[in-house]
Amino acid sequence: MSEVVRTRVVVSGHVQGVFFRDTTRREAARRGVAGWVRNRRDGAVEAVFEGPAADVRALVAFCSSGPRDAAVDSVTTGDEEPEGLAGFEVR
């Protein structure tokens, strides 16, 4: 089994109101990655991805472009210690 990693992502730009959270949830479910995604008051989207390293990297890469109507300006990431999350939720 591959190493489990956890990454926090903050995505800025035109990322709210474009189904970013729901699309991220579907991508995470498809890849078997746990965590959560939420809108922030500053207009960004924040997410935590926890799972196999390759799948977490793929979700971080997805956040660089997001869904079709998104316009991503920047993506900041930070590695964290895995917590053993199960499932993925939109907050």
Residues taking part in catalysis = 21, 39
10 burial (CB, 10 Å; 0-12 / 13-18 / 19+) is middle
Report how far apart, in Å, the C-alpha atoms of 27 and of each of 11, 31, 41, 42, 43 are. 16, 6, 24, 24, 21
